[in-house]
C-alpha cells in the first residue's frame, strides 16, 4: 500500500515537472512544447513499473487525466498541451491518456505474467513507440524538408515516416531481443513497418490509440 501511494505521489510530481519544464520550449513555439510533453511524459510508465503492483493503482492517474485532458481540450485549461482552435486535429491528448489507462488495466492485470514475461514490460514497448517514435517522427517531419504523401485525408512526409520506422524498429528489436524471441530481427522489421503504416493512416490524433495498442497486440502475437 505505502509503495503504491508513494508511486502515486512521485507520478504527480513527475507530471508537474514535465508540464512546467515544457515552458522552456515556448520560444520555439507551442508545438515544440506539446511534442516535449508527448515524448517525455511517456517515461511515466517506468515509474509505474517500479512502484505499482496491481491494475487499480496503476490506473488511477491515467483515469484522472482522461478527464483532465478532455476538460483541457474543451476549455483550453492546460494551454501548453493544446493547439490553437483553428489547428486542432482531434482528441489526441485524451487518446494518449486513454491508452495509458487501457494498458495499465491490461498489463498490470490479466497480462501481468503473459507467458512468463512481465506484462508491463510489454506495455512499455507500446508506450515507448507512442511517445518516442511517434513524437520524434512528428518533429522530424516538420523540421526536415522532404516529399509528402497523402493517405485518405492524412498528409505525411517521407522524413517523418522513415523516422517513425527506424525508431520503432530500435524499440521493438530491443524488446524482442531482450526477451529472446526467435527471429526477433525479422519480426521487429515487419512489426515496425506495419506500425508505421498504422500511424500514417490514423487521423485526428487517433494514432495515440492505434499505434501503441495495436503494437502491443502484435507483440502479444509474436511472443
- pLDDT at residue 86, rounded to an integer: 45
Q: Which three cell numbers stand for residue 152?
A: 485518405
- pLDDT at residue 178, rounded to an integer: 97
Domain that holds residue 71: 2-222
Angle at which helices 44-51 and 119-128 cross, to 10°: 170
Separation of alpha carbons 34 and 186, rounded Å:
34
Nearest to residue 93, comparing CAs of 110, 108, 109, 76?
Answer: 76
Separation of alpha carbons 202 and 113, rounded Å:
31
Q: Could you tell me which residues come within 8 angstroms of residue 29 by beta carbon, excluding any fewer than 6 positions away?
A: none
- pLDDT at residue 7, rounded to an integer: 97
Q: Which three cell numbers stand for residue 170?
A: 530500435
Helix locations, the chain, DSSP H: 2-21, 30-40, 44-51, 55-75, 92-107, 119-128, 134-143, 158-178, 184-201, 207-222
Return the ∠ at Cα 174 (arms to 199 and 141), rounded to 5°. Answer: 30
Give the DSSP H/E element, type plus range, for residue 156: strand 154-157
pLDDT in tens, 120-149: 999 999 999 999 999 999 999 989 989 998
Query: What is the per-residue DSSP string for 87-138?
Result: G--SSHHHHHHHHHHHHHHHHTTTTTEETTEEHHHHHHHHHHIIIIIHHHHH
Q: Which three cell numbers stand for residue 81?
A: 498541451
Mean pLDDT for each 10-residue chunk of the chain (223 residues)?
Answer: 95 94 78 90 98 96 96 80 59 95 98 95 98 96 90 86 98 98 98 97 93 98 95
Q: Could you tell me which residues come within 8 angstroms of residue 162 by beta carbon, excluding any fewer than 6 positions away?
A: none
Number of domains in the chain: 1
Amino acid at each position: 500500500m505505502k509503495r503504491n501511494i508513494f508511486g502515486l505521489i512521485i507520478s504527480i510530481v513527475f507530471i508537474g515537472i514535465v508540464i512546467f519544464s515544457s515552458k522552456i520550449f515556448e520560444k520555439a513555439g507551442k508545438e515544440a512544447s506539446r511534442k516535449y510533453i508527448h515524448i517525455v511524459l511517456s517515461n511515466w510508465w517506468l515509474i509505474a513499473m517500479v512502484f505499482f503492483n496491481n491494475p487499480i493503482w496503476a490506473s488511477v492517474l491515467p483515469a484522472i487525466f482522461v478527464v483532465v485532458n478532455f476538460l483541457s481540450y474543451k476549455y483550453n485549461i492546460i494551454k501548453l498541451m493544446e493547439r490553437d482552435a483553428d489547428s486542432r486535429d482531434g482528441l489526441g491528448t485524451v487518446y494518449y491518456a486513454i491508452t495509458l489507462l487501457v494498458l495499465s488495466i491490461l498489463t498490470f492485470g490479466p497480462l501481468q505474467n503473459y507467458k512468463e514475461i512481465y506484462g508491463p514490460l510489454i506495455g512499455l514497448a507500446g508506450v515507448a513507440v507512442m511517445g518516442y517514435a511517434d513524437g520524434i517522427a512528428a518533429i522530424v517531419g516538420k523540421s526536415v524538408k522532404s516529399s509528402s504523401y497523402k493517405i485518405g485525408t492524412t498528409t505525411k512526409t517521407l522524413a517523418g515516416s522513415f523516422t517513425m520506422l527506424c525508431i520503432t524498429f530500435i524499440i521493438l528489436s530491443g524488446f524482442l531481443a531482450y526477451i529472446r524471441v526467435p527471429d526477433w530481427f525479422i519480426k521487429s522489421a515487419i512489426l515496425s513497418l506495419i506500425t508505421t503504416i498504422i500511424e500514417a493512416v490514423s487521423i485526428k490524433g487517433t494514432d495515440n490509440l492505434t499505434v501503441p495498442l495495436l503494437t502491443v497486440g502484435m507483440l502479444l502475437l509474436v511472443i
